[in-house]
């Protein structure tokens, strides 16, 4: 068979050349051109998925369905990214098990594990009540063999685990290279559209998110889901980064258990119940998409010998932490210039909204002074953005956040509607805690 014509595409800027260059003529980056198959004329107009918004199929996993905007749209292409060990294979195995149980045809393609390994996992899922053993499994890394199987089986929903392990013999380049990954995704998409199958492509991302993988496919797929969290923690969040069929700011919360992933149906109850209420701990009334979520934010402030001192955070943006620390020092009299500061959103949850600022500020101030906030044995609850002049700025959906807090009996919430500046918020927080007879400050 003649080799199909190929082009060289810059993995940074997407510039295309007929021949290889050491330096991309488009953006000037070195060694970024990779070989890809030359694009063919598009077969027959827009894809079925984009054309008709046919009824989506619920996966039986509520947290996933919400992130997807109702379920899996027939014929759509979904990319599920996440670091190794986070639970992508478990989640997709459960999805197919559920769909198979309600009479939809499925196919699980794995290039990573042997059929025996997959069977082992599906047996574990089965004992947890998911009909995973009924799912047809194909352990294969050759792209042509996988495409042939999809054509033969014509599944309604197919999982490719993972896009980095499949290999097209028509292209040079190792599996997982940019050219291979794009080729695999493009050809899987073409075959899937032809047989009307919805496909979930699993993709690994490294901590830096840089290795050839999900990033280079985002434009090609209908939905991009990111599975986040730390492997050694129990909680995982599923986030929509792109969705042609629904909103992108929904989040699902899961817990990894012995019997697979379990949806956390009321994460607020879980996190509030686990909040320590000790110095350095506050509860943030956050919004995760359209849903309010109460999470515990913890801080530790300890004297440092390092210059500059450490700033370590989990679950919030480093730059937001730097900003909050600067405003605390400049406008609220809480200096941390000679101390290490650690901030953690408990449970491995990420909160990427400015409403987290006030919680970070109060947690750090509470930790710096060694004073527990909150009253009557209940943790302090708060939300609000911190402005550069020390003012508190309004954030979205204050009533829904307050309602959620009230649901758990947390009625001493501090927010931009009740206090105007960070200084006032600190005063109110510490006054409330002293009234309730908590221990006096131990550090300045």
| Cβ 260 to Mg ion shortest distance, Å | 13
Q: Which is nearer to Mg ion, 90 or 375 (CB)?
A: 90
Residue 89 interacts with ligand TYD (CB under 6 A)?
A: yes
Q: Which is nearer to ligand TYD, 70 or 259 (CB)?
A: 259
> Which token pair is 41?
């004329």
Q: Which of 71, 74, 87, 97 binds ligand TYD (CB under 6 A)?
A: 87
DSSP 187: H
| Cβ 201 to ligand TYD shortest distance, Å | 13
Residue 129 interacts with ligand TYD (CB under 6 A)?
A: no
Q: Which of 104, 124, 233, 400 binds ligand TYD (CB under 6 A)?
A: 124
| Cβ 192 to ligand TYD shortest distance, Å | 21
Residue of this chain nearest to Mg ion (CB atom): 89
Residue 258 interacts with ligand TYD (CB under 6 A)?
A: yes
Give the DSSP letter string of 290-355. Answer: TEEEEEEEEEEEEE--SSSPPEEEESS-HHHHHHHHHHHHHHSS---TTEEEEEEEGGG----SGG
Residue 260 interacts with ligand TYD (CB under 6 A)?
A: yes
Which range binds ligand TYD by CB under 6 A, 117-125, 183-191, 371-379, 410-418?
117-125
> Which token pair is 314?
């989990």
SS (H, E, C) 396-439: CCHHHHHHHHHHCCCCCEECCCCCCEHHHHHHHHHHHHHHCCCC
76 binds, among ligand TYD, Mg ion, none (CB under 5 to 8 A by kind): none
Residue 256 interacts with ligand TYD (CB under 6 A)?
A: yes
Residue 88 interacts with ligand TYD (CB under 6 A)?
A: yes
In the chain the first and final C-alpha atoms are separated, in Å, by: 77
Residues in Cβ contact with 237 at an 8 Å cutoff, skipping those fewer than 6 apart: 227, 228, 229, 251, 252, 253, 254, 288, 348, 349, 350
Give the DSSP letter string of 276-305. Answer: --STTEEEEEEEETTEEEEEEEEEEEEE--
124 binds, among ligand TYD, Mg ion, none (CB under 5 to 8 A by kind): ligand TYD
| Cβ 102 to ligand TYD shortest distance, Å | 21
Residue 90 interacts with ligand TYD (CB under 6 A)?
A: yes
Residue 81 interacts with ligand TYD (CB under 6 A)?
A: no
Which range binds ligand TYD by CB under 6 A, 34-42, 83-91, 237-245, 296-304?
83-91
Distance from C-alpha of 396 to C-alpha of 402, rounded to nearest angstrom: 12
From 245, 240, 232, 263, select the one nearest 198 (Cα to Cα). 245
Residue 203 interacts with ligand TYD (CB under 6 A)?
A: no
Distance from C-alpha of 98 to C-alpha of 106, rounded to nearest angstrom: 10
From 72, 91, 73, 71, select the one nearest 81 (Cα to Cα). 91
Q: Which is nearer to Mg ion, 85 or 439 (CB)?
A: 85
| Cβ 271 to ligand TYD shortest distance, Å | 21
Q: Which is nearer to Mg ion, 165 or 298 (CB)?
A: 165
| Total binding residues toward ligand TYD, as defined by CB under 6 A | 15
Residue 84 interacts with ligand TYD (CB under 6 A)?
A: yes
H or E segment at 145?
Answer: helix 143-153
Residues from 7 through 46 that contact ligand TYD (CB under 6 A): none
**Contacts with Mg ion, residue ranges (CB under 5 A):** 89
Q: Which is nearer to ligand TYD, 112 or 434 (CB)?
A: 112
Q: Let me know the angle formed at the C-alpha of 281 by 370 and 326, rounded to the nearest 5 degrees.
A: 75
From 265, 270, 228, 233, select the one nearest 91 (Cα to Cα). 228
Residues in Cβ contact with 60 at an 8 Å cutoff, skipping those fewer than 6 apart: 95, 98, 99, 101, 102
Residue 137 interacts with ligand TYD (CB under 6 A)?
A: no
84 binds, among Mg ion, ligand TYD, none (CB under 5 to 8 A by kind): ligand TYD
Binding residues for ligand TYD (CB under 6 A): 82, 84-90, 121, 124-125, 256, 258-260
């Amino acid at each position: 068979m003649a080799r199909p014509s190929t082009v060289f595409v810059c993995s940074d800027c997407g510039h295309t050349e007929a021949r290889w260059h050491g330096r991309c003529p488009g953006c000037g980056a070195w060694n970024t051109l990779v070989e890809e198959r030359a694009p063919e004329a598009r077969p027959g107009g827009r894809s079925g998925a984009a054309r008709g918004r046919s009824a989506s199929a619920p996966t039986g996993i509520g947290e996933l369905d919400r992130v997807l905007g109702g379920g899996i749209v027939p014929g759509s292409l979904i990319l599920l990214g996440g670091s190794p060990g986070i639970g992508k294979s478990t989640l997709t195995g459960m999805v197919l098990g559920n769909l198979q149980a309600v009479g939809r045809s499925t196919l699980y393609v794995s290039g990573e594990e042997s059929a025996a390994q997959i069977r082992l996992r599906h047996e574990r899922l089965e004992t947890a009540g998911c009909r995973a053993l009924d799912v047809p499994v194909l352990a294969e890394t050759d792209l042509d063999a996988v495409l042939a199987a999809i054509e033969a089986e014509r599944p309604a929903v197919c999982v490719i685990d993972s896009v980095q392990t499949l290999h097209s013999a028509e292209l040079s380049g190792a599996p997982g290279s940019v050219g291979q990954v794009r080729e695999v995704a493009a050809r899987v998409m073409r075959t899937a559209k032809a047989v009307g199958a919805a496909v979930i492509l699993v993709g690994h991302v490294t901590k830096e998110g840089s290795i050839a993988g999900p990033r280079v496919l985002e434009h090609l797929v209908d939905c991009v889901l990111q599975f986040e969290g730390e492997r050694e923690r129990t909680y995982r969040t599923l986030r929509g980064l792109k969705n042609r069929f629904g909103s992108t700011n929904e989040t699902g919360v899961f817990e990894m258990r012995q019997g697979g992933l379990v949806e956390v149906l009321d994460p607020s109850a879980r996190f509030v119940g686990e909040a320590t209420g000790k110095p350095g701990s506050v509860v943030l009334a956050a919004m995760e998409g359209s849903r309010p979520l109460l999470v515990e934010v913890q801080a530790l402030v300890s004297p440092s010998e390092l210059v500059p001192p450490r700033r370590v955070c989990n679950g919030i943006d480093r730059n937001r932490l730097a900003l909050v620390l600067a405003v605390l020092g400049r406008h609220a009299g809480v200096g941390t210039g000679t101390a290490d500061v650690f901030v953690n959103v408990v449970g491995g949850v990420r909160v990427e909204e400015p409403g987290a600022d006030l919680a970070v500020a109060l947690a750090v101030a509470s930790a710096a002074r060694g004073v527990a906030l909150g009253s009557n044995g209940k943790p302090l609850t708060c939300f609000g953005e911190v402005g550069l002049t020390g003012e508190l700025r309004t954030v979205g959906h204050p009533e829904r956040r307050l309602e959620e807090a009230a649901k758990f009996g947390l009625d001493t919430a501090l927010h931009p509607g009740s206090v105007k500046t960070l200084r006032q918020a600190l005063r109110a927080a510490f006054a409330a805690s002293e009234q309730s007879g908590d221990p006096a400050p131990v550090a300045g």
